[in-house]
Structure 1
Amino acid sequence: MKDDRTLDRLVGKLTLEQKVRLLTGATTWRTAGEADIGLREMVMSDGPAGVRGEAWDERRPSALLPSASALGALWDEGLVEELGGLLAAEAVRKGVDVVLAPTLNLHRTPLGGRHFECFSEDPELTGRTGAALIRGIQARGVGATAKHYVANDSETDRLTVDVRASDRTLREVYLAPFEAAVEAGVWLVMAGYNAVNGVTMTAGPLLREPLKGEWGFDGVVVSDWAALRSTEEPARAALDLAMPGPQSPWGASLVRAVKDGLVPEEAVDDKVRRLLRLADRVGAFAPRRRMSVKSSREPRTLLRRTAAAGSVLLSNSGVLPLDPAKLATVAVIGAHAAAPRTQGGGSAGVFPSEVVTPLAGIRARLRGRARVVHAPGPPLGAPPDPLDTDRCGNPRSGAPGVLLRVLDDEGRELYAEHRFSGRQLEPDLPPGAHTVEISARLRPQRAGEWSFGVGGFGRMTLTVDGRTVLEGTFPRETDDPAVVHVNPPVHTARVALTSKRPVHVVARRELVPGCGRATIVTAAPPDPDAASALAAAVEAARDADAAIVVVGTTEHDETEGYDRTGLSLGGHQDALVRAVAAVNPRTVVVVNSGGPVEMPWRDEVGALLLAWFPGQEAGAGLADVLFGLAEPGGRLPTTWGASFADAPVTRTRPVAGRLDYAEGLHVGHRAWLRAGREPAFWFGHGLGYTTWEYEAVEAPTEIAAGAAFTVRVRLRNTGARAGREVVQVYVARPGSAVERPVRWFGGYAAVRAEAGREVTAEVAVPARALRHWSEEERAWSTEPGPYRLMVGRSAGDPRWEGAVTVERRAVTG
């Protein structure tokens, strides 16, 4: 590794223009190289769910991990670190140096549209989980990025929202996971789009203090994509790298600002030095590493194990696990069973090589043992799917998929290629490109009124068998890059198809400067009659030995760029669950969502299992849990309310541009405790396939201020099979001189034991669990006196209470 003196010599070899050029990306995903110092370009890629690489290309698949909320439910840092290693291996395979993960924002409100990309509601659990992922990624020489610094916890007006929060709230809640990331040695931190307390984050003082000063972060602060909006303020602040490029408010404007004395050249030198340190860490002073393509079996095994380990068994009346030997017929019900949501929407999306659906996983497990019947139930009202290889053929070659063409302003073909999907976000644009065209021969599964759609901005047309069914000019109404470049609105028209004869679908989108090039073509068959579909599902359930109902959210509910408007499942799903449960007491409901949903029928079903967005091995991991090959290992990383109306913190919409975090420290289970309300399921809740008795607890009665301590819990597996238990410690400070939560999470330890065996969990409680931020002293303070300790299975299920006394006050800077 190059030391600071060597880095200084390299900086000294560069002209001002060369240095400034390094501070803006060379492309959307690459930093600039510099031959004079032997520096190659560094490649970045989105990464929370998988490493996509530089292109949105469905022909270049990636390993698809369970969502971050599912990783937060693991409560298993070792497994998270393994997953970080998988992300790093994928990065090397795709020629990527920096993975834009983990997301360390919090589940502040259940309406957060990007819930699925964040770990939890709690700063301690989020920090520990994020640190583990960072260690796993960076141990293999790939950079990790802690994002989005800071308080970027909702999507509404996310480019401009000004979050107002006290220093104490920021320090104890929202900055805490980033502090843990720095302690783990993270190499990059991404500054968010939002402002905090009146200053946009790319120019905010929080980049200097506490990030680079107090915490000693020596890496690169990179902007979120297109978050940099001015030249001088971010340059004088602690932002280091503007992405994407090559255009940005820096470049020639920054050179002029330095020459005019508005930005000190020393500030530029510090940014370049940090960028070169990152380059050294990822090996960018040498040729790119090459990695041979290995069998996909090993990562698939890890992803399958993770899908099972992150699933949370919320309730169980002795129905799970199902015994295949006692089953003749199993009804699998719900549209999500055959077409699950494996990931959330937005910039973090990847293209998996294949997906094991819940229906496929269950059928594979029961093959030769029991009959599996699928009933999709009523339609969900979800957006129509893009054209795909199952339903479409290239009109030129006949191969499964679509024909992508780029035309000039006179309609002449400049470029054409075969693609697998009607969702093309980054079509190649040769010189003279004027129009993107996607066409296919669609094979209708049935006659009736179909819905066809085209997504994008500008003038668009859609024809079916030569007849224009949609035509118009659709202006861009947002600057949000996730909407413009990833998820543009789809405009639809209905067309009556009188037979199953293939039809020729052609969509064209004229390119408009500043509106991206993403083009989407969709088609959906006529919805079945809801009442008939519900009746068919009930009939299947009545005749089965067990019914497995898979319900979940849709692209309308959980996606980047939009917050949710409610927590209802919608699409007749509540009625479907109730109707099935009424005719089959052995009904298992599997919830396929990235964040909380209302489950008004939760007490009416035999078992309730939360599967999250489980990644590409969804069905395999689910089947392992349903049939007892694996125990559901997850614990809730977020409190789930019975209804949206009960949730104590819900606001995501700014007022006059401001979003006040008026709840302060009281988010998640802290907010529920403060409000005195009982949720459906507490933070930390989760059942297994065995039972546990907490036999004894050993904790110190006195500790020195600023000291960590350990709580030892002896427990016994009182069930009939081996299992895993997550022992949790919570802390309270009655009579505190400062405002405190009713109680807060202090730490956890997971243990395993065979049936009948005893095991001891050692829960390390860090010194930070007892401290608070003193705004008067601008320092951390630990109050002397007694603190209550609670040991239990969740924030709402304490099994033991004791006390520890801090001997004297401590203040740390």
Structure 2
Amino acid sequence: MAETQPTEQRQDHERDRHGDQAREAAVEAALGKLDLDAKARLLGGRNMWALHALPEIGLRSLVMSDGPIGVRGVRWTADDPSVALPSPTALAATWDQDLARRAGALLAQEARRKGVHVLLAPTVNLHRSPLGGRHFEAYSEDPFLTGVIGTGYVRGVQSGGVGTTVKHFVANDAETDRFTVDNKVPSRALRELYLAPFEAIVANAHPWGIMTAYNQVNGVTMTEHRHLVGEILRGEWGFDGYNVSDWMAARSTTGDIEGGLDVAMPGPRTVYGEPLAAAVRAGEVAEETVDAAVRNVLRLAARVGILEGAEPVVAPRDLPTGIDGDALAREIARRAFVLVRNENRALPLGPDGTGAGAGTVALIGAAARDARILGGGSATVFPAHVVSPLDGLTAALPEGALTYAVGADPSDELAAADKGFALRAICRDATGAVLGEGNLPSGHVQWIGDDLPEGVTHETLAGVDVVGTFTPRESGEHVFGTSGLGAFTLTIGGETLYDGVQGMGSASDPFEAFFGSPVERGRVSLTAGEPVEITLRHPLTKDFEAPLQGVVFSLVHLGPRRDPDELIAEAVGAARAADTAVVVVGTTERVESEGFDRRGLRLPGRQDDLVRAVAAANPNTVVVVNSGSPVELPWRDDVAAVLLSWFPGQEGGAALADVLLGAEEPGGRLPTTWGDLAAAPVTDVTPAEGELAYAEGVFIGYRAWEKAGATPSYAFGHGLGYTDWTYESLTVEGTTATIRVRNTGDRAGREVVQVYLAPAAGDPDRPARWLAGFAGAAAAPGETAEVTVELPRRAFETWDEGTASWTYRSGTYEVQAGRSVADRRLTETLIA
């Protein structure tokens, strides 16, 4: 495993195990005091995020919260902000397990601050197809890299006394029909790819929880999958944590409990509780089966310190504290940025980091001003502040050195009312009386479970009014609308634009329907700087109950649409007048989000046209790509530099200034292959008659690109720093590879040394090569660094479908060390 501290890992594991005997005794004593009804009640959610407390055994309510880049807490609201770290793809791009551990420790600190005991993260599904809509929330196309980063993350969170829930077990690699799809995965691919990260994390990080997915695998829904959960996860791997359903995935009382599902979420309406107790009394379920699930939940409670008489795994005196969230978010972001192109050393602009030598810079792009820092859906958190690229460069460059132009908006779709809006939500009962109110950072109302404003309950809430003012940044025709289901009355400046009902339409995913497609309701001509009153009334009815207990709808807005050619012309003028043009392009929430897959990999809107035009005007054009997963870059050979920033978190703009101006080097390497959709070997994410065949077997990602003989835009593992590296030597003794590299550039830097294993004679049944290890090396100019990479036994094994067992594949292998899967510098032979 890469960049680990073997001694530290053993100490963490021993600390986790220390006291287990005492905790088990406390668990058994508590279990023995519970009657059937109490046990069944414990296994079903009390509400959206918590389990029932059982005072009779000294058990407090266990609280869970979504991650993975922040900790939302029990209220999905900006009134309870959270640090927002860079996206999981960004974290994986650091290729640094210790940095992932530090990220986890910070999130544990955030969780404790919010009273959260379990973080619903990390996501370790794979990038099987580039069209997966939620790939920004997963790490990589490679199971080994995913397992390494996931292990660091889990160890970090749990070092802070907070549990993790590794998800989504298993093969939840796309969003289309995710509630019902039956993924047909060959057993070899299942073992070597999709189960592999979970297995590695269970073995090396001992997670306290796992989440089973919505989908079926080979005919059995995952919440009922006794073979994968009971026989493999618990039996073969020895997992002893709790197993919770994805939210609303549990659908069968007997099927789920017999299949090994411990907790059905969310509550209060679940297939457990009273239905489970009734099933036991009817003889359909053995009480011993319920006891096993309760035991797992009590063990988790003991570990996090909410079961009386049980010492937590991490004593309060050992909890990490004082971690600077802003500083760590900034560090992860710059370490994650991947410089995939840098012709004639276009970057950095100012080598000393002060901006003094950067000259004049034209910053271009809507995403430079209104940064997209995270992906949509359940990964959303609300940071206390956001540093956009415009903010970061304005602060870093000398006065007068920076100009800004929009250039081309990536979307002509309405989005949640944001800049210029000052809004609050007023909650009313059936008589119209005010129950309470809350501030809104945008026009998006999303109150899930107990997220409601103080004094408001779902039982008394009959309607919500979004009220406030809008002060336009631009004069012209503004478009307003709504998203969500139900009745709406929208009034702007005293004029009613809409009074009607919005239905389900064609949406098949209930989350997509309720998080909803925005619909235009009217247009109003407004003047920049002149505020206007706004009201959106939304009475609640039983006709449109949300799939989760909650209130979800939005006031949406689109500013004046200027002629795209005119905007591009303005950007070209700014670029021509500057020494360097920095163009920020990216995706939108309608392109990458939970609940749907992508239809293509092109940048939305006229952004490609914008880049081409700016590059033609200024040869020193740098493009920053603000997306969580791959997009096509048809202009990549026409620009001086391309920097991938992923979704960079709340400090992304500050980190970008650090990297562009040379205070820090971009440290990232690609965790997934970037290429054009037409050439991508695996693209199918749409089920046929309810089934999605993983017909490619073990050939996904770079494995598939090499098998197809296709050349991607940028290969797995690729990334440039601000210095040069020479690979001087590779020695292999047994299964230990030692690599020496020299920094031949003019500044200090860090290299990610990657080691691939390849059958010397080739084997059509196996990939041409696969990642077997990696390590980080740091050196000053002219100095050497030596790293050691242990090649794990599993790198030499394949799953034998005939014997249903792992087979060690002896023979001659090439051990290949280099900078990416396509840039292998040194080779040695190993006989296994």
Same fold (TM over 0.5): yes
The answer to whether residue 347 in structure 2 is matched with residue 320 in structure 1 is yes
Counterpart of 1:698?
Answer: 731
| From 223, 227, 231, the counterpart of 1:202 | 223
The answer to whether residue 769 in structure 2 is matched with residue 743 in structure 1 is yes
Task: Name the CA distance, whole Å, in 1 between partners of 2:811 and 2:321.
Answer: 58
| From 556, 564, 587, the counterpart of 2:621 | 587
Deviations 1:227-257 (A, max 9, x none): 1011101111111011111110122211111
Task: Name the CA distance, whole Å, in 2 between partners of 1:664 and 1:726.
Answer: 29
The answer to whether residue 242 in structure 2 is matched with residue 220 in structure 1 is yes
Shift of 1:735: 5.2
| From 719, 737, 742, the counterpart of 1:711 | 737
| From 489, 505, 520, the counterpart of 2:534 | 505
**In the comparison of the two structures, how many residue pairs are matched?**
786
Counterpart of 2:603?
Answer: 569
| From 256, 266, 287, the counterpart of 2:288 | 266
Counterpart of 1:49?
Answer: 69
Task: Name the CA distance, whole Å, in 2 between partners of 1:432 and 1:499.
Answer: 40
Are 2:23 and 2:302, in contact at CA under 8 Å, matched by a contact in 1?
Answer: no
Are 1:379 and 1:527, in contact at CA under 8 Å, matched by a contact in 2?
Answer: no
| From 407, 412, 430, the counterpart of 1:377 | 407
Counterpart of 1:654?
Answer: 687
Deviations 1:737-793 (A, max 9, x none): 782112111111110011001111211211111101111211111022212221111
Task: Name the CA distance, whole Å, in 2 between partners of 1:341 and 1:58.
Answer: 16
State the one-letter code of the partner of 2:380.
G
Shift of 1:623: 0.8
Between 82-91 and 315-324, report the one with greater CA deviation. 315-324
Between 253-262 and 657-666, report the one with greater CA deviation. 253-262
Are 1:93 and 1:290, in contact at CA under 8 Å, matched by a contact in 2?
Answer: no
Counterpart of 1:443?
Answer: 471
Counterpart of 1:811?
Answer: none
Task: Name the CA distance, whole Å, in 1 between partners of 2:494 and 2:189.
Answer: 60
The answer to whether residue 587 in structure 2 is matched with residue 548 in structure 1 is no
Counterpart of 1:421?
Answer: 442
State the one-letter code of the partner of 1:557.
V
Counterpart of 2:109?
Answer: 89
Are 2:105 and 2:320, in contact at CA under 8 Å, matched by a contact in 1?
Answer: no
The answer to whether residue 214 in structure 2 is matched with residue 188 in structure 1 is no
Task: Name the CA distance, whole Å, in 2 between partners of 1:417 and 1:19.
Answer: 37
Between the aligned residues of both structures, percent identity stands at 47
The answer to whether residue 559 in structure 2 is matched with residue 535 in structure 1 is no
Q: How does 1:52-71 map to 2 (within 5 A)?
A: 52-71=72-91
Between 534-543 and 432-441, report the one with greater CA deviation. 432-441
5+ residue gaps in structure 2?
1-18
Are 1:784 and 1:805, in contact at CA under 8 Å, matched by a contact in 2?
Answer: yes
Shift of 1:479: 7.0
Task: Name the CA distance, whole Å, in 2 between partners of 1:296 and 1:277.
Answer: 28
Change (3 A) 1:418 1:614: closer
Secondary structure of the corresponding residue to residue 71 of structure 1:
helix
Task: Name the CA distance, whole Å, in 2 between partners of 1:417 and 1:680.
Answer: 47
| From 769, 772, 776, the counterpart of 2:802 | 776
Deviations 1:546-603 (A, max 9, x none): 1111111111110000111001012111111111111211111111000000001101
Counterpart of 2:716?
Answer: 683
Task: Name the CA distance, whole Å, in 1 between partners of 2:821 and 2:704.
Answer: 12
Counterpart of 1:607?
Answer: 641
Counterpart of 1:395?
Answer: none
Change (3 A) 1:286 1:588: farther
Deviations 1:333-379 (A, max 9, x none): 111111111000001100011111111111111134x5100011122
C-alpha RMSD over aligned residues: 2.0
Counterpart of 2:397?
Answer: 366
Counterpart of 1:170?
Answer: 190
Task: Name the CA distance, whole Å, in 1 between partners of 2:323 and 2:208.
Answer: 30
Deviations 1:179-238 (A, max 9, x none): 112111100000010000011000012111210000000000000011101110111111
The answer to whether residue 483 in structure 2 is matched with residue 455 in structure 1 is yes
Shift of 1:481: 5.6
Between 437-446 and 530-539, report the one with greater CA deviation. 437-446
Counterpart of 1:408?
Answer: 429
Deviations 1:411-431 (A, max 9, x none): 443333444332111144444
Task: Name the CA distance, whole Å, in 1 between partners of 2:587 and 2:49.
Answer: 31
Deviations 1:367-412 (A, max 9, x none): 34x5100011122225434334x523xxxxxxxx323122334544
Counterpart of 2:141?
Answer: 121
Are 1:378 and 1:529, in contact at CA under 8 Å, matched by a contact in 2?
Answer: no
| From 95, 98, 101, the counterpart of 2:121 | 101
| From 18, 22, 33, the counterpart of 2:38 | 18
The answer to whether residue 391 in structure 2 is matched with residue 357 in structure 1 is no
The answer to whether residue 771 in structure 2 is matched with residue 761 in structure 1 is no
Counterpart of 2:12?
Answer: none
| From 225, 238, 241, the counterpart of 2:260 | 238
Counterpart of 2:10?
Answer: none
Change (3 A) 1:213 1:355: same
The answer to whether residue 287 in structure 2 is matched with residue 257 in structure 1 is no
Q: How does 1:453-492 map to 2 (within 5 A)?
A: 453-476=481-504, 480=509, 482-483=511-512, 487-492=515-520
Change (3 A) 1:540 1:286: farther
Change (3 A) 1:157 1:776: same
Task: Name the CA distance, whole Å, in 2 between partners of 1:694 and 1:498.
Answer: 62
Are 1:455 and 1:491, in contact at CA under 8 Å, matched by a contact in 2?
Answer: yes
State the one-letter code of the partner of 1:577.
V
State the one-letter code of the partner of 2:394.
R
Counterpart of 1:706?
Answer: none
5+ residue gaps in structure 1?
393-400, 704-708, 807-813
Counterpart of 1:36?
Answer: 56
